[in-house]
């Protein structure tokens, strides 16, 4: 099947790269976002998110004449829904499907026989067949007979989105075999990786299983770090030795799990089948409680937080991106401030962002000034290479806490610091 025009609903971390990639491959694309600020920024030639190479790609897409942005969807051969699926506000960890529902409803008046609709948003199992299909069928047409409907999740890593969007394997699940095949026809426009066809619910499960697998294994690593602290050993050494076993690959601990995927997606499985997911639920509890554990470590090291000035390095959920969504570093910072510390943060990829109660600093020198302790929460490349002698000259305190296990401990001790590392019992000497 040939596609002359594609309508992409949602111009975030996935929708914008997807729309731009289609456009640079010669397909006319209408990118849609209900956030007027996003539309205005793009129309002015800028982008609203940080991703290596994305600005150049978007400019190329506009220059080709194949990309337009709008507040409303238009008729097209294919519609791609790439809107957020956050958790609902409140104590219940349930998927907020309002954006998906609204996007599907906006397509109904435009839907024509032979159109393809693809849901890319990460969703609970059976969303495509039980939620999206009934909405689209309000058009009077039937999914799989009159129009095609498929689910194809993004499986890319922030910081490498443009490469992985093209090179990674892709799964396409249709409400029937023909829908999956038509979906394959669309994505072969630019995908070089293997394209696997399946049914829609299996494709939904694939995305959730991938991120849940990561979450559970990170939870084990974080519990190992707590145990190592308890027993007075070095978890980083223990992990390195354990991973010499040919069938063992323990991940690295840290201050928690963030981002819009790993910290969210497992809850969709718990929501869908709570009686069948005790392990997944417990892994989420472990990782969600890790920021509080880090704060306990800081409180213990400083013998209290009230009145202490703490320099926090990094707020994003992973290194070298600007994405603060669900970031454990933000949660650590918030709790530190809530417990009486003066917290000065430095986030080079989002310099104006901070956490509730904390103070965003524009330079590293400002962040370190007057600090009693410095804490590494995100291992940006610049922070990995930080010279402890520079830090010693910039701040009066002599306490350094590494929650990522990346700083050279001896170099920090030689610079006069008491050096503490997550998962290492006591100060390094």
5-200 and 265-421 agree in CATH topology: yes
308 classed as catalytic: no
* Residue among 207, 308, 318, 410 flagged as catalytic: 207
pLDDT at 429: 66
pLDDT for position 73: 97
Q: Does domain 265-421 have CATH number 3.40.50.720?
A: yes
Q: Is 7 a catalytic residue?
A: no
pLDDT, tens digit (0-9, with 9 covering 90-100), for 78-110: 999 999 999 987 777 899 999 999 999 999 999
Interval 157-190: pLDDT, tens:
888 999 999 999 999 999 999 999 999 999 999 9
- Full pLDDT tens readout for the chain, 429 residues: 889 999 999 999 999 999 999 999 999 999 999 999 999 999 998 999 889 999 999 999 999 999 999 999 999 999 999 999 999 877 778 999 999 999 999 999 999 999 999 999 999 999 999 999 999 999 999 999 999 999 999 888 888 999 999 999 999 999 999 999 999 999 999 999 999 999 999 999 999 999 999 999 999 999 999 999 999 999 999 999 999 999 999 999 999 999 888 999 999 999 999 999 999 999 999 999 999 999 999 999 999 999 999 999 999 999 999 889 999 999 999 999 999 999 999 999 999 999 999 999 999 999 999 999 999 999 999 999 999 999 999 999 999 999 999 999 999 999 999 999 999 988 886
Domain 5-200 annotated CATH 3.40.50.720: yes
Question: Among residues 261, 308, 318, 410, which one is catalytic?
Answer: 261
CA distance readout (Å), 235 to 226, 263, 299, 359: 9, 23, 20, 32
Residue 426: the pLDDT is 84
Domain ranges, ordered by start, for the chain: 5-200, 265-421
């Amino acid at each position: 099947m040939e596609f002359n025009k594609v309508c992409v609903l949602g111009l975030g971390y996935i929708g914008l790269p997807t729309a731009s990639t289609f456009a640079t491959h010669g397909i006319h694309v209408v990118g849609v976002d209900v956030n007027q600020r996003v539309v205005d920024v793009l129309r002015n030639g800028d982008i609203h998110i940080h991703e290596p190479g994305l600005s150049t790609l978007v400019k190329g897409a506009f220059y080709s004449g194949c990309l337009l942005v709008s507040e409303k969807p238009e008729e097209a051969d294919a519609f791609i829904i790439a809107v957020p699926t956050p958790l609902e506000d409140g104590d219940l960890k349930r998927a907020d499907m309002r954006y998906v529902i609204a996007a599907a409803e906006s397509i109904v008046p435009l839907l024509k026989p032979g159109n393809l609709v693809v849901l890319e948003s990460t969703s609970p199992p059976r969303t495509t067949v039980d939620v999206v299909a009934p909405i689209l069928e309000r058009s009077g047409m039937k999914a799989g007979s009159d129009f095609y409907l498929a689910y194809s999740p993004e499986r890319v890593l922030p910081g490498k989105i443009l490469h992985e969007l093209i090179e990674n394997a892709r799964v396409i699940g249709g409400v029937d075999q023909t829908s999956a095949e038509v979906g394959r026809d669309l994505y072969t426009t630019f995908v070089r990786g293997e394209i696997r066809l399946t049914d829609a619910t299996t494709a939904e499960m694939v995305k959730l299983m991938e991120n849940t697998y990561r979450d559970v294994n990170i939870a084990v690593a974080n519990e190992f770090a707590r145990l190592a602290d308890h027993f007075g050993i070095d978890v980083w050494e223990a992990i390195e030795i354990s991973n010499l076993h040919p069938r063992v690959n323990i991940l690295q601990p840290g201050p928690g799990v963030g981002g819009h995927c790993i910290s969210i997606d497992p809850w969709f499985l718990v929501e869908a089948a709570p009686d069948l997911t005790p392990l997944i639920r417990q892994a989420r509890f472990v990782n969600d409680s890790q920021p509080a554990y880090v704060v306990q470590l800081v409180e213990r090291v400083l013998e209290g937080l009230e009145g202490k000035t703490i320099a926090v390095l990094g707020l994003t959920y992973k290194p070298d991106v600007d994405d603060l969504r669900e970031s454990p570093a933000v949660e650590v910072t918030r709790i530190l401030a809530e417990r009486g510390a003066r917290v000065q943060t430095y986030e080079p990829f989002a310099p104006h962002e901070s956490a509730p109660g904390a103070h965003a600093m524009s330079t590293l020198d400002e962040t370190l000034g007057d600090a009693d302790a410095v804490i590494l929460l995100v291992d940006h490349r610049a922070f990995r290479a930080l010279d402890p002698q520079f830090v010693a000259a910039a701040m009066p305190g002599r306490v350094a806490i590494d929650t990522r296990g990346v700083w050279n401990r001896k170099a920090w001790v030689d610079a006069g610091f008491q050096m503490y590392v997550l998962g290492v019992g006591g100060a390094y000497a």
